[in-house]
């Protein structure tokens, strides 16, 4: 039986690309969504049409009970989960003094606490089998910080700390934990950028272009599958 991987935020750009890449690598794929059920179910149908065993599951990443139910449903459907890729996230572009309490909590709840909830729910099964691979998705802003993105940068930096600490904690039990730190990736999060801003970001990137979701997904699958890589933060940013 092929390994099963749960991908959070699988209806988004990087998440959907990870799902397709995992299917191509022979994984059975559990697709998490919140609010984009139609897109997630269409992607599951697309993967099944290509011969992949795939199913979509809904949950609010910011709600631990909802996440726990999602993971239990995925484990029941696929017998167990061998991998977890945490792509679910929300962005916020505001000067810090203008960020409301609610906005701050939402950004941290989805990006950081959401990953924690999914990992905490999936980890017992991995520890029981002494095998598993977890990939968190941070950002270049989590590494270096971004102007007018303090809340997002804080949440993504938290993911890096979570990854490095957890890798030390669960490595002896055979579970690996790594982090992907994408640069400027051409997804819906960039949809609000003007053509001038997009051009400037591409110019700031030494490789001269924005990244694609597929660029990030290939790196995520490398981290998911490599048997001797753990506790690492892999920048996929074109040298940004």
Report the catalytic residues: 152
Contact 56, 33 (CB under 8 A): yes
Residue whose C-alpha is closest to residue 154's, from 107, 89, 88: 107
DSSP β-ladder status, 4-8 and 28-33: parallel
Give the CA count within 13 Å in the CB-facing half-sphere of 139: 25
Contact 48, 24 (CB under 8 A): no
> What is the distance between the alpha carbons of residues 118 and 89, in angstroms, rounded to a whole number?
13
> What is the distance between the alpha carbons of residues 42 and 52, in angstroms, rounded to a whole number?
13
């Amino acid at each position: 039986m092929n390994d099963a991987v749960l991908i959070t935020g699988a209806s988004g750009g990087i998440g959907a690309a990870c799902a397709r890449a995992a299917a191509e690598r022979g994984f059975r794929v559990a697709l998490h969504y919140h609010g984009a059920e139609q897109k997630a179910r269409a992607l599951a149908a697309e993967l099944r049409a290509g011969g992949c065993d795939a199913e979509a599951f809904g949950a609010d990443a910011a709600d631990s009970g909802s996440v726990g139910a999602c993971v239990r449903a995925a484990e029941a459907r696929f017998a167990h989960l061998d991998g977890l890729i945490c792509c679910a996230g929300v962005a916020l572009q505001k000067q810090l003094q203008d960020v409301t309490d609610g906005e701050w909590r939402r950004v941290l709840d989805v990006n950081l606490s959401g990953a924690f909830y999914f990992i905490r729910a999936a980890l017992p099964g991995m520890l029981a089998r002494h095998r598993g691979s977890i990939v968190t998705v941070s950002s270049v802003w989590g590494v270096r910080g971004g102007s007018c993105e303090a809340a997002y940068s804080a949440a993504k930096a938290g993911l890096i700390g979570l990854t490095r600490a957890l890798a030390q904690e669960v490595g002896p039990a055979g579970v690996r934990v790594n982090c992907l730190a994408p640069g400027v990736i051409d997804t819906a999060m960039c949809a609000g950028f003007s053509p001038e801003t997009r051009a400037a970001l591409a110019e700031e990137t030494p490789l001269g272009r924005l990244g694609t979701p597929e660029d990030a997904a290939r790196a995520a699958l490398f981290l998911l599958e490599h048997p001797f890589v753990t506790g690492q933060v892999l920048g996929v940013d074109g040298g940004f």
